[in-house]
Structure 1
C-alpha cells in the first residue's frame, strides 16, 4: 500500500489546476464561439479561408481566437498535471506559477484576438507563459520526480 501525504496548503494548486485553468478554457471556448457567428464560419469548419478573411475582418479575428484556443488546449493538460505534481513538494510555488500561467495565457488570448495586430502578433504580450510552464516542469522533474525515484 502506498500512502501519499498531501501538504497542508495543497488546496491552492488544486484550485489553480482544476479551477482556474479549466475556467480559462471555458472563456476561450465562449470567445471563439461568439466570433464564429460573426465570422460566418459554419460547423464543422475549423477556420475561415484566406478569401473569407480578406472579405470579413471578423473571419480573421475568429481564426486568431480559434488558434489561441487550440494552443491553450495543446498546453493546458500538461500544465494542470505539472501544477498538481509540483504542488506535492512546492505547493505555494506551484500555485503561484500556475496562477502566473493563467495570467499570461489570458494576455496571450487578449493580444491574439483583440490587439488588432496583423497575423495575431499581439499574442506575444502573453508569451511569458512558456517560461512559467517550463518552471512548473522543472519543479515537477527536479523536485518531485527526484524524490519518487529515490526508494
Structure 2
C-alpha cells in the first residue's frame, strides 16, 4: 500500500488544476459557440470555409476562436496533471505557475479572437503559456526523479 500525504496547502493546487482550468475551458466553449451563430457556420462543420472567411470577418473570427479552443483542449489535460503532481512536492510553485498558465492562456485566447490581427497572430500575446507548461512538466519530472533517486 502506498500512502500519499498531501501538503496542507494543496487546496490551492486543486483550485487551479480542477477549478480554474475547467472554467477557462467553459469560457472558450461559450465564446466559440456565440461566434458560430454570428458566423453562420452550421453544425457539424468545425470551421468556416475559406470562401466564408473571405466574405465575412466574423467567419474568420469564429475560426480563430475554434482554433484557440482546440489548442486549449490539446494542452489542458497534461497541464492539469502536471499541476496536480508537481503540487505534491512544490504546492506554492505549482499553484503559481499553474495560475500563470491560465493567465497566458487567457491572453492567448483574447489575442487570437479579438485582436483583429490577420491569421490569428494576436495569439502571440499569450504564447508564453508554453514556458509555464514546460516549467510544470519540469517540476513534475524533477520531483518524481528526486524521489526515485532518494530510494
TM class, shorter-length: over 0.9
What TM-score do the two structures reach when normalised by structure 2?
0.98
Checking the alignment, whether the CA contact within 8 Å between 1:86 and 1:94 is kept in structure 2 is yes
Partner Cα distance (2:66, 2:42) in 1: 13
TM superposition shift of 1:91: 0.1
CA RMSD of aligned residues (A): 0.9
Secondary structure at the counterpart of residue 89 of structure 2: coil
Instruction: Provide, for residues 57-94 of structure 1, a one-character-per-residue CA deviation record: whole Å limited to 9, x for no partner.
Output: 10000000000000000000000000000000000000
| Distance of 1:10 and 1:81 partners within structure 2 | 14
Deviation at 1:47, TM superposition (A): 0.2
Structure 1 unaligned spans of 5+: none
> 1:106-145 maps to which residues of 2 (within 5 A)?
106-145=106-145
- Name stretches of at least 5 consecutive residues in structure 2 with no aligned partner: none
Tell me the secondary structure at the aligned position of residue 4 of structure 1: coil
- TM-score normalized by structure 1? 0.98
Partner of 1:29: 29
Deviation >3 Å, runs of 4+ = 148-151
Partner of 1:105: 105
